[in-house]
Amino acid sequence: MKDLAALAEQIHACGRCPRLVAWREEAARTKRAAYRDETYWGRPVAGFGDPEARVLLVGLAPAAHGGNRTGRVFTGDRSGDFLFGALHRAGFANQAESRQRGDGLELRRAFVTAIVRCAPPANRPTAEERAECQGWLEAELDLLPRARVAVALGGEAWRQLLRVFRERGLAVPRPAPRFGHGVEAAVGAWTLLGAYHPSQQNTFTGRLTPAMLDAVLARARELASDSA
């Protein structure tokens, strides 16, 4: 892979998982009523951000009517509103919201991606689908040489990152650290931070508050500065 743009084109053309292909395309055809006049992306979604990123943020997958609609992960839904607001407050983003690709959002010293690149039914990718997508995450890691802090947005991302690090020969602690909000683990040259996923299930119930996510991102910023 020459660069992140070339890798993104490969990700956008992926059709490895028949169940996910069928679901993402069905969502793009039927649409949500609020977006009935929009043309959905309806393809896999690559990560995006600063090629010089020190901090990697990893979620689960694009939302059927969020990233699957806009073509950019965490863009165009309530989870993204919550996340980008926090990234802006932490100095990682130039604006506090993102509604669509090309809306001027820029990330600074951060890169946002997901462990699965297509919207899964009920937001539940299978183990096989996660495994098929793992190579895309690893390819992004190879093209982010300055990243040394990984923020796992949810338990699925935490476990997948530990799997990737282990398979890349890094010293994952034993027993493997368990996910939790604010949990921190040293894995080789990386520091892995846990944060509850900014889903409506978490943010509407108060399980995840803006202050809680701000604290994790402040720690990520501190660790990234230490690794400069």
Which tens digits make up the pLDDT trace of 116-161?
999 999 999 999 999 999 999 999 999 999 999 999 999 999 999 9
Which tens digits make up the pLDDT trace of 158-195?
999 999 999 999 999 999 999 999 999 999 999 999 99
Using CA atoms, how far residue 101 sits from 71, 73, 129, in Å, is: 7, 10, 25
Beta strands in the chain (DSSP E): 48-49, 55-59, 110-114, 149-153, 184-187, 190-195
What pTM does this model have? 0.96
CA distance 73 to 113: 7
Closest residue by Cα to residue 161 from 171, 152, 170, 169: 152
Closest residue by Cα to residue 83 from 73, 74, 95: 74
- Please give the angle made by the CA atoms of 42, 111 and 3, to the nearest 5 degrees: 80
Cβ pair 135, 162 in contact under 8 A: no
Closest residue by Cα to residue 74 from 203, 198, 158, 215: 198
Q: Which domains does the chain have, with CATH numbers?
A: 4-226 (3.40.470.10)
